[in-house]
Amino acid sequence: MDAVKSPTWDANLYLKFADHRLRPALDLMGRLDPANGARAGHAIYDLGCGAGNITRILAERFAQSPIVGIDSSEEMLAKARSQTVDKRVTFARGDLARFTPEVPPAILYSNAAYHWLEGHIDLFPGLLSLLPSGGQLAIQMPRNHEAPSHALMRKAADAGPWKAKLDRVRGIAPVAEPGRYYDVLKPLCSALEIWESVYQQPLTGKDPVAQYTAGTGLRPFLEALDEAERKGFYDTYTGMVAEAYPTRPDGITLFPFRRLFIVARRA
Ligand SMILES: C[S@@+](CC[C@H](N)C(=O)[O-])C[C@H]1O[C@@H](n2cnc3c(N)ncnc32)[C@H](O)[C@@H]1O
């Protein structure tokens, strides 16, 4: 299975909204079983660890385990390594589509990464099979692809001379209905929790929604264009999202964001 062609990442732009992105990561982490952190000879993996800010929190929560962050982006990994002093935490380059752990995992944790892989659902049974009985697979993915912020990427892509170039851009792979993940995972689990939350993110500043998506879902579109086209496309997109997400009288732009959570315990 091929991963969606990974965009290059701007760690600083991504981290601009770190507070809003942190909350779901912690909500997912809250369902992890501390007993899995005490399994000798096992590690906790942060799959698609990005700049490592969540990886470091995992290390604080699980003080006895080796913690390994895996990511395909050298830029994200460089940022992660430069900000991590705890020798128990290591980072390695790897493709989530072909993940093979060097140390057996007790927990496979992944925040906001697997939606970048087309057909990610087919990978989940294999991930579960890497765990010991009672080990946990914990995954959070945005399920916001039908929201205006994402639907307008395609609309703006079709609305200018950049259309031909952007027709080829696939963007983020849609995340399926929760029930599909349930059907695939339940036969392999002793316990399975799946839930969704819609976070009403209060953003500030100029073009806040476009700035937010420019750090993630909009990147493949921006990267397909030259500088002049990029500006035209970005301005078109920004105008569209500003209408869809008006700034309130107090200066706040509410950006509702739906996320899907899966916590599967291997039978
Ligand atoms: C939105 S960021 C999330 C980073 C981190 N988990 C967090 O919550 O802050 C998505 C990360 O997934 C990584 N990623 C995307 N596709 C990947 C793949 N096929 N293999 C490994 N990492 C991938 C990207 O490089 C990026 O760092």
Taking CA atoms, 174 is separated from 125, 170, 224, in Å, by 19, 10, 20
Point out the ligand 1 atom lying closest to the alpha carbon of residue 46: 6
pLDDT tens, position by position, 217-253? 899 999 999 999 999 999 999 999 999 999 999 999 9
Q: 């989940």: which residue's tokens?
A: 124
Q: Are residues 190 and 134 in contact, defined by beta-carbon separation less than 8 angstroms?
A: yes
- pLDDT reported for residue 264: 98
Of the candidates 238, 234, 231, 265, the one whose C-alpha atom is nearest the C-alpha of residue 253 is 238
The alpha carbon of 214 and the centre of ligand 1 are apart by a number of angstroms equal to 15
261 DSSP assignment: E
Q: Where are the domains of the chain?
A: 11-266
Q: What is the C-alpha to C-alpha distance for residues 158 and 173, in angstroms, rounded to an integer?
A: 19
Closest ligand 1 atom number to CA of residue 96: 20
Q: What is the pLDDT of residues 105-127, one digit of tens each?
A: 999 999 999 998 999 999 999 99
Atom 25 (ligand 1): residue with closest C-alpha? 73
- Nearest in space to 210 (alpha carbons), one of 196, 200, 199, 221: 221
Task: Tell me 174's DSSP state.
Answer: P
Q: Length of the chain, please?
A: 267
Domain spanning 11-266, CATH class: alpha beta
Q: Could you tell me if 185 and 124 are in contact, meaning their C-beta atoms sit under 8 angstroms apart?
A: yes
**Helix 148-157 × helix 227-244 angle, to 10°:** 140
Question: What would the mean pLDDT of 32-48 be, rounded to a whole number?
Answer: 97
Pocket test for ligand 1, best of 1, 15, 27, 49 (most atoms within 8 A of CB): 49
